[in-house]
Amino acid sequence: MENFIATVEKVNSAINGVVWGPIMLILLVGTGIYLTLRTGFIQITKFPYVMRNTIGTLFRKKDKSADKSGAKNLTPFEAVSTALASTVGTGNIAGVTGAIFVGGPGAVVWMWISALFGMFTKYSEIVLAVKYRQLADDGTHFGGPMYYIEKGLKMKWLAVIFAILGGIACFGIGNIAQSTEVSGAVNSLLGLIDISVDPLVVGIVLAIIVAIVIIGGVKRIGQVASYMVPFMACFYILAGIAIIILEIKHVPHAFSVIFQSAFTSEAVAGGATGYAIMLGIRQGVARGVFSNEAGLGSAPIAHAASETKDPVEQGMWGIFEVFVDTIVICTITSLAVVLSGVYDGATIGEAGTYVSNGAAAAAAFNTILPGTLGGIVLQISLLFFSLTTILGWSYYGERCWGYLTNNNKAVNLIYKIIFVLVCIVGAVGSGNLMWSISDTLNAMMAIPNLIGLLLLSGVVIKITKDYFKDPAKMKR
C-alpha cells in the first residue's frame, strides 16, 4: 500500500509540475492580457463604475419589480458571496506565505499583476456563464464552463472533461483538505483553554452543519454565504488594518522591499538574479491564480445561478471578487509576513509544507499583535475560510455531476450524502495527499475552460462593448 501511495504521489507531482508550470501560468495570465487589451482595460478605466454597480448596489433601494425568479435564484450579492466562499480560503493565508518564502517578497508584485488581468478573465467567465446558462423546470438558473463550452462551441467532449475534473476535485480541495483544516483550527482554539476534542466529533458536527446547508440547495448556500463571507472578510481585514496601524512607520519600507525584490537578486536569498526573478514571478502568479481562481472555471458556476439578466452586470462582480480576494486580503497577509520579518533567511526550496506555511502566517501575526492574539485571529479566519470553501465547492460539485448525469435527482441526493460523509473523513485524517491531487485537478480544469474563453472571446468582447456603448447604462 505504501508503494502504491508513493507512486501516486510521484505521478501527481510530475503532472502538477506541468499544470502549474510556466506554460500554464503564461496561458492563464496571457488569456487575461489578451481579453483586457481587446476591451481597453475596463477593469481599470471603468473601475469606479464597476464598484458603484456591484458593492454600491447594496446601499440602494431594491427594485420591487425585479424578476420574480429571484425567489429561487441567487441575488447578485448571494452569487458573489457563494463564489467568494470557495475562493477566499487557506490559499489567502498559507498560499501567500509560501509564495513569499520561496519567491521572496517580490512575488507579491507578480501576484498583483496576475490579479489585474485575472479580474477580466473572471469577468469573461461569468459573462459567458450567464449568457449560456440553462433554466430548470422549477425556474432556477444553472450553468458554468461545461455549458458555455457545449452550447457556445458545440464541443461536448471538452465540456465533459471539465465536469469530470470539477466533480472529482470538489471532494479534495473543496472538502477533505478543508475539513482537515477545520478540525485543526477547532483544536488549536480550544487548546488555548486546555480542551481537546476528538477529530471524529469535529467531523460529525461539521458534517451535520454542511448537510443542513447544502440540502437546502443553492439558494440556502447563497443565503448562508451572504452572511458568513462579509463577516469573515471584515474580521480578517480589520485584523490586517490593526497590524498596519501598529507598524505604520515601517509600511513604506515594506512596500519598498516588495517592489525592489521583484526585480533584483534579493527576490530569494542567495539566488542568481535571473533565476530569482523567474522564481518570484512563478510563485506570485501561481499563488495569485490559486487564490482568486481566475481562469479555473469554478466561480462562474455560482454566478450562473444569479437572478441577474444582464451578463455584463453579473460579470462586474467577478472584477470585484478578484479585487477583494487578491488585492485586499492577500495583500494584508503579505504585509503581515513582510512587516514581521518571519520570511528572513528563507532560501530556495524552503517552501515548507502547507501546514508550516499556515504556522508561519500565524507567527507573523503573533509577532505584531499582542500576546497570542495573532494566532487566534488566524485560526478563527482559517476556520471560517475552510467552512465556507466547503459550502461553495459543494455546489460546484453538484453542478458538475448534474451536468454529467443530466441533473438526475437520485444521483444528486447520493452526491450530497457522499459529500457530507467525506467531511468526516477529512476531519479525522490528513488531507495532504488529497490536497495535492485536487490541486492538480483544479489546475487541469483550467485547460478546457481557457480553450472556451479564448474561442468565445469574440462573444465576450461584443457583449461588453455593446453594454458600455449604452448611454442609459453609463449614467448609473
In contact, 34 and 454? CB cutoff 8 Å: yes
Per-residue pLDDT for 313 more than 90? yes
DSSP state of 431: -
Per-residue pLDDT for 154 more than 80? yes
Give how many domains the chain has, as a whole number: 1
Residue 394: what residue type? Answer: S
- For range 160-178, the mean pLDDT: 89
Per-residue pLDDT for 349 more than 50? no
- Structural domain includes residue 1: no
DSSP 201-255: HHHHHHHHHHHHHHTTHHHHHHHHHHHHHHHHHHHHHHHHHHHHHHTGGGHHHHH
The CA distance from 452 to 364, in Å, is: 41
C-alpha cell, 421? 460523509
Provide the residue range defining the domain that includes 361.
19-55+75-474
Per-residue pLDDT for 135 more than 60? yes
CATH no. for residue 261?
1.20.1740
- Structural domain includes residue 11: no
Q: What are the beta bridge partners of residue 142?
A: 134
- Binning pLDDT at 50, 70 and 90, where does residue 475 land? low
- Structural domain includes residue 63: no
Q: Which helix (H) or strand (E) holds 100?
A: helix 94-103
- Structural domain includes residue 2: no
- For range 271-277, the mean pLDDT: 55
pLDDT digits (tens, 9 = 90+) for 175-220: 888 888 888 888 888 887 888 889 899 999 999 999 999 988 888 8
- Structural domain includes residue 70: no
pLDDT digits (tens, 9 = 90+) for 36-74: 999 889 999 999 999 998 988 876 665 544 444 455 788
Of the candidates 460, 437, 218, 447, the one whose C-alpha atom is nearest the C-alpha of residue 318 is 460
Phi first, then psi, for residue 237 (nearest 5°) are: -65, -40
The least confident of 69-78, 98-107, 129-138, 248-257 is 69-78
pLDDT digits (tens, 9 = 90+) for 419-435: 999 999 888 876 566 66
